[in-house]
Structure formats: structure tokens, C-alpha cells
Structure 1
Amino acid sequence: MEIILWIGFYFLTFYAFLPALISRIFGYRVFMNGKSSDGISLTFDDGPDPEYTPKLLDLLKQHGAKGTFFVVGENAEKYPDIVARIHEEGHILGIHNYVHHMNWFMRPGTVKRQIRQTSDVIERITGKKPMYYRPPWGIVNVFDYARLGHLQIVLWTSLFGDWKKRIGADRLYRRMKRKLKPGQVFLLHDCGSTFGADRDAPENTLAAVERILNDGEKLGYRFIGIDEMIEVTERAAKKRKAGRAAEGASAERKASVGPLKKLVIGLWMLWEKLFHVVFRLRPIGSAGFFNYRIRKYSGYELKLQNGRELKPGDLIMEIHFENRMLVEAGMKSKTSLQVAIRIIREIEKVLPDMARELAVIPKGDEVKALYGVSMIHRGGESLGFEMFDLPKGLFAWSTNLYLRFMIRVVHPAGNERVREHSESLNPRMLIMERDTLLRWADESKKVRRVGRERAAAKTSDTSAGKRAAEPELSENVSGPFDETTVGKLV
């Protein structure tokens, strides 16, 4: 049963939930919000429709406005004359799958085939290959990032529920009027024949769009295709980047937390609570930064330094780092080195509690090792951990994706760090053999950390030993924990 839960959890998290969350919150690999000073993009999904799309084209032509049409492939095949007219009148054509099915419920190969079929239909009619893609309901799966080739995924800034007729033309117009400002990408519909939509709902859309076009003209706004909106936005981004480079942007600016980042952190915390409930994690330590569970090891056979082996089926004590502490450390630290030092110190504090817990919990005497997964490649050795590569496969790939996502959220310069050091950010298993962990329970020892013996030998009394130990932490950390190896224990 637990294996089924794990599979379901990872599928929902890494195939569906996280890609959608990352795309929607961070705009990762998608375009959804422009930076034009006077341009607004009207985008229309689900068509072409033989009744409403021609009326919409007449309206746009009357006002000299350009729109973007994400067409469903099977509809485009039925009405090639309308697709040809969209192209000839200077509007942008994009892909909205061949049939209006959600990407979460299709295999990656099926999604790719749907996109290719629709692209071929558009190219046959217009002679031009489409460059833009909007997945139905704006929902991507993790493979969409890698399989779309030259296509740019386009989402939206604002949507208005215009697929339901009961909203009415007046209320739809008021909703659109509140969002009428430069840089907006409006999501609208020129077809009501898809699942969940009302057949005559586009009547409201036509009426509301006409009023919006009039309002926009009075305010001096232009209604532009998504191609121009993206081009203008990219130019603005390059200009801002050049300005920051000239001014020398500070680390504090990189560490600032905007409202979107606060939102994704909040959602992340809720997701973590769900994880705790599903897998019955137990808190450990007075600070409340760690949780654990006892489970069977399922990786490949490991040979530990003391000559013992960790085999599939052996019981392990799996440690999970509380993300709240990681967020706090990330927001208060200027560099990844400082984040890593904070993490190591918190792990050091909790190890005695874990050792004492292991001695009293049911089946604790059967546990072979303490186990975790981390992007900290080195430095854990000083606490007694041994590092091993994760076996290649779904778990390693999905864990890598998840930890990179977390670095983007909490690292002082997360996006830049992931881009610049993509190859070196790889999670590894951290294993502490049972006897090594149990030694941490002995509070009478002057030195418990593996690797501190040399520092302890320089002093003969307890206080001197402690003074020697603390600088040695900084020395150990400053080398291994460089800017390319920061991560977390989960």
C-alpha cells in the first residue's frame, strides 16, 4: 500500500502538480505577463468556430486590432477557410492540442503527437509553422518543457470565465475593464463546443470585447499579437538586466521576497504538511526542524566504511528536513555558504536526539542506518555521514527536479544558481551507520564529530576542546560548501 502511495505522490507531484505550480507562479518556460507600455494581447481558445470566429474577425478588423488564436486541431481541419482568414488578416495562430484534452491525463508521447498533428494542419493551410502553444486549461506536465522544441508555451495574465453563458455580457465586460492595462494577456474563447463550455457563451464574449476595444482606443492602448508582446517584453528584460549590471545589484536585492514568492512558499508548506500526514512522519528535536520515519531501504546494496553493508529490505531511519527552517535560512543569508553552515549546525544539534530516539522506538534495534537525500555533496563527512550516488531512475530524476525547485525558492540567488551550476547540482544519499549515530547520544564525550579528532588533540581540557571545535566547523564548511553545492536534507 505504501508503494502505491509513493508512486501516486510522485506522479502527482513531479508529472503534474509541480510543473503546473512552477509555471504558474514563476513563469518557468512559459509566457504569461507582458511589459508593453501600451499593448494588450487578446487571445482566443478552442476555435475556430463557424459562427463566432468570423464575427470576431470582423470586429477586430473594424478596430484595427490584432489577436492570437489558439486553435484545436480537429476544428482547424473542419474549417480551413477560417484558419486561412485568421492568418491572412495578420493575426497569430497557435496550437491548443488536436483535441481538447488535459495534458495531465495523456502520456508524453500522446501530447507530442497532438501538438505535431495540429502544427501540421496549420502549416498545410497557411504555409507557416506555428510558434506558440497553449495547453488546454493551461496545464502542463513535466515533459512539456523538453518536448516542445521551438514552441513557446503561452499562458495568460487574466481569465474571466467567459465559457459560461450565465456570466452575461455586462458582468464579463466589467471584469475585463478592471484588468484593462498595458502588458495584460487576456484569455477568452471564440468557441463554446468544448467540454464544460456553453455553446452560445461566445455571444457574451463578442459583446464585451467590442466595448473593451472602444475603451482601449480611448485610453490610447493598442491590441497586439502575442508575438509583438513577447518581443517587447524580452527587450524590456534585456534593458533591465543591463541596468542592474551597471548599477551592481546587491545580494539583498536578490534575496528580496515578492508576493508571488510568498504565495508559492505558502503553497509549498501546505504540500509539505500533506506529505507528513500521508507518510506519517514524526517530529524530532526541540527546534521542530526535523522529522523522521522508519522504513525499509529500497536502493542498491551499499558497502559502508566499517565493513558493514546496507541491503534492500534493511530498516532505516529516514530523516526529513522541515522546509520552514530552510526558508528562514535562505531569506536571512546572503550566500549559499551561509545557508549551508546553518543547515550543518542544525543537523549537528538534532543528531543526539535522533540517537536517543533510535534507542527507544519500536524496532529501533533493527535499524541499520540513518538515511537522507541531499544536494550537499561534501561536508556531511564531518558529522559521520557517508555519501553515495542515487541510483539512476525515476526517483533520482524526480528528486533532482524537486530539490532544484526548492533552491529556486529559498536560495539568495536561486534562479541564477540553478542556471549557472546545473551540472553540479545533483542530490546524493547521506548514510550514517547505526553505531556512528548512537555515539551521538553520549553527551559526556568532548568530541563526537568524525573529523574533529585532530582539533581536539590540540587541547587538553573540555573548554579548550570546544573552542577548537567551533572554528573547525567554519574551516570544514568553507571548503566543501562552495557556491555550487548548497542544498538541503529532506
Structure 2
Amino acid sequence: MTTILQSILLWLLYLSSFYAFIPSLISRFFGFRVFRRGKSDTQFALTFDDGPDPHYTPRLLDLLRQYQAKATFFVVGEHAASHPELIQRIHDEGHLIGIHNYIHKTNWLMRPRTVRDQIQRTGQIIHEVTGVKTCYYRPPWGIMNLFDFFSKKERKIVLWSSMFEDWRSRVGAQRLTERMLKELRGGEVMLLHDRGTTLGADAHAPEQMLQALEVVLQEAERLGLQSVRVDTLMGGITVSESQNKNQPQTTLKLWKRLVVALWLGWEKLFHWVYHLRTASPEDPMLHFRSRVYHGARMEMSDGHVIQNGDPVIELHFDNQKLFELGVTSRSSMHLAIRMIRTMEQQLPDLARMVALEPELRSAKAIYGVSMINRGPEKFGFTIQDLPPGPFSAASKVYLKLLLSVIHPAGTKRLKQRTEQLVPKMIAMPLDVLLERYGQHTTQVAATVEESRDGSLLIEKELLPEQN
């Protein structure tokens, strides 16, 4: 019995070696079916695995933009699905996005079909967000299996020529910097990580990676070395070519063009009659006006209350901007992400204006109406139903009509999500606005008296929820 068991274990060892260990060994040392190093004397590639991460990835992108460096991000599908706005930002800022499986699990422990499904699922998420299909793939821990050797030729497997154990906090920023500088040369493909939540990694390790990377980018600039995307190092297509191929082309029907013309004309008249102001004049999206609140008592989750007769600020979206975003978006998710990013960019401007002007600070609330039941909580908003009545009914008809015009899925979307398209009010306390979005105006915010009974209500018309 012992002999039989030993024989079975021996055969399992042979099979696992044949399935994954030997293929990984061959690819790692001989470069068979993989890309590991470029031939350029002046360009190198920074690659980042395991993200995106809501804390570290934005800081990494800021750092890359500061030094005009391009990089490649091999993303984990489940993280990409949770943070599509980061995937969109990575793409918009000119970086390459590759696949790192849907979950961070070695190919050694998965069947070929499971690996294929993981790759396809992650690729679909990337495509839905960016409109671009990716063919670049890096298996977790660089472990390939036998079937990776016989995968479709259009899938480009990318490994690395140098790694630095940046996933371990004990390495330390100084030693990590020394290791990276030692390998800084043309053609190098550097392996780094912008997330520390995978097995064997330290959650705060990306912090020291960011410190080391800044020094490396400074030295690369001094040496005349340029950080580029992996496809550039390989001789692939450029960003502009990729974007041009995937630019959505939208032709509106006659009735939609008429609705848009009336809609935009009404907005101009509304702005003129009510003297609307703009939070970000250089990129008009958020407009507002001061007025007195007339409506039912509104109580938010944190205890702030808005009552009939309170001074308020009414916030509106720019119709022209909404229309442009809608007709040029590739999907519901793409439209949602673009609107979320616009809000993130312009809410600080609104906070600055509120902090600067006593009249705005004296208002008890800023308010508006939304057709979307999910999503605004990420900004710090509280959602509340509109009281039934003529205003609620009219808002529902009006916003549904506009959604059918500007939404990428049009009337098809309305039929699928009718139960969710109900006008609602969205609220945020004023002190939360200043705390969350006033970081760009610290000096101004410091002069503002605390307003513990203030609140913010913001209109987020037509923002599709993320599925």
C-alpha cells in the first residue's frame, strides 16, 4: 500500500512539473513565448502588478505624470471591477493596461479552462471601461503552465528582467532604492507592485515603493533614460492609434436632435433668467444659484435637517457637457466613470467658492434631483425620496426623456431599469464638503467658521449606477 501511494505521489510530482514547473523554467530562463527585456539603450519599462489600489494607485499616477513617465499596469480583474474609475484614469493618462488574472491565484493550481476564463473576464472589464482590448498578460508570480505555451499567438505574455521584493516592508525604502538604481538601464523591464493585499505581500509596502520610485525617476531623468510602456519597448502601436480605432461614432436621429436643440436652448434661457454661476468656468459642468427652499422637511442620516424657508443653493449640471459626455461614451460604465471623474475634479472648486463667500456659507443646503438610486454615496451624499406630487412626476418624465437622448444605451436602458429611474434628492453636510473636497484650499478653509448645522445637497442627474 505504501509503495502504491509513493508511486501515485511521484506521478503527481511528474505531472505538476510537466504542467507548470518546467514551462515556467523554460520561459523564465530562455524567454520562450514571453517578453522579458527590450533592446533599447535609452528606454526602460516600469510595470506594476496586483492593482489597482484606491490609496496607492492614484499617488503612483500622480508621480508618473510629474516625471512624464509611462508605465504598464497588470491589473487583477476583481480589483479593476471594484475601481473602474482608476482603470479609466490609467488609460486616459496614456499607460498600458494588461491582465493579471481575475483573482491573484497561480496558474499552477488552476485548470486551463479556469485560467482562460480568468483572462477573458478581466479583459472584458478592461474593454468595457476603456473601449480598448488588451492582449498583454502576466501570470501571477510569473508561473506559466503547459497550455500557456500553446495559447493564441495574439496573447503577449510579459515577464520581467528585474524584480526587487518591493512587496516586503522589511526591505525598506533605502535598500529598495539601491536595488532599483542598480538595475536602471535601457531595455530593462522592472517588476513593481501598487497593491499589497495579495498572499505574501505587506499591505503598506507600496508606500516605500513610491519613495524609491521617485528617486529612480529623478536619476533616470538625469541619465537621459525614458520610462515607456511595454508595447513601446516591444515596438507596439501608440496610444493615439489605439484611441482612434476605438473612438465611438454617434449619429443622432432627427427627433433626438430636436430634443437636444430645445434642451440646450432652454438651458441658456434658464441661466440668463436665474443668473446661474459656474463652479469651474474653465470646464463648465456645475452651475448653481441661491434661493429659498420650498418643500417638505428633509432629514439626513447625520441628523442635519432642511426645512421650508431655509436659504439654500440649487446646483445644476451643464446640459451641453452632459450631452457631449453621453454621446461620446462607449458604455454605461464609461459614462458613469467620466461623470464621476468630472465631479471629483469640480467639487473642490465648489468647496473653494463656498469657503470664500459669506453668502454661500450662510445657505443651509445645496440641493438637486437625481434619477439614480446608487453611486452618489461614494461622494459622501445621503439619498432621500422626493415627496409624491406634481414635481416628482414631472421630474420623472423630464429626466427619463433626457436620459433616453444622452445615455449610450438610450431607450433600451430605460426598459431594463425602469424601477430604478425614480427622482431622488441627494444630500451632504456642508462641513463634509469642506473636509473632503477643501483640501486644495486649506488656507481658505481655515478661515471658515465651522457650520455644524449646515448641509449640502447636490444634483447628480443621469449618472448611471455601476453594475
State TM-score, norm by structure 2.
Answer: 0.49
**Max Rg structure:** 1
| TM-score (ref. length: structure 1) | 0.46
